[in-house]
Amino acid sequence: MDQTKVAKYDFQRIKTSAGITPYKQLGLKLGLNKCLFHDDRSPSLSIYQRNGAYLYHCFGCGQKGDVVHFVKIVQGCSTKEALEILTTGNNFRLADVQTDLDKQQRERRLVDAYKKMEAECYNKLCALNRMANQIAEMITLENMDTHGLTSFFLAKDILEYELDILCNGSAEDKLSVFYGGTDG
């Protein structure tokens, strides 16, 4: 028997021999559970058995896989390391996993807040830009200097520049728009 077949056989044997234990170590059971991978208000993570191996699938966040993939995700390790954990019977603690998941959730919330702030800022700048365009259409060359509207056109240019940053700029440039605008 060649090495590939042996490795493939061992891989399948490890997946089936691990059973449900890795899931149980984290308080999960066969059937529906609250998902560890996202802020789950109602059970959406299904643990089930197919062809002798225990699999998981979350209907909320879409995470799915076999027991090896599960260990990889919760431990943040490689496939080889996950296989070693499963074959040596090493336990992994929920506290370690929960800390990592809390960090991921905090990061996700920050990204969500950033995207919300970006959208709000963009919408406000677009509204201001529409108003500025309407005002610009009403201004003629004769009354521009009389009413001191030169600064209006400078502000309009800065507004368009900031909109361009929100559409095409880097995250750092976008943050500068969020927290006080650009220097133009």
Contact 125, 163 (CB under 8 A): yes
What are the tens digits of pLDDT across the range 135-156? 777 766 666 555 556 666 677 7
Q: Is residue 101 part of a domain?
A: no
Contact 61, 46 (CB under 8 A): no
Q: Which CATH number goes with the domain that contains 60?
A: 3.90.580.10
- Bridge partners (DSSP) listed for residue 33: 45
Verify that 79 and 151 share a domain, yes or no. Answer: no
CB-based contacts of 108-114 (< 8 A; 24+ apart in sequence):
108/38, 114/171
Residues 134 and 170 placed together within one structural domain of the fold: yes
Task: Name the nearest CA neighbour of 35 among 133, 118, 101, 121.
Answer: 101
How many domains is the chain built from?
2
Domain that holds residue 52: 3-92
- The 10s digit of each residue's pLDDT in 73-103 is 888 888 888 887 887 765 554 445 555 666 7
Residue 170 lies in a domain: yes
* pTM of the predicted model over 0.85: no
| Rounded Cα–Cα distance for residues 14 and 84 (Å) | 10
Last residue of a domain, one of 92, 126, 149: 92
- Closest-CA residue to 96 (of 64, 71, 66): 71
Specify whether 51 is located in the same domain as 112.
Answer: no
In this structure, is residue 24 part of a structural domain? yes
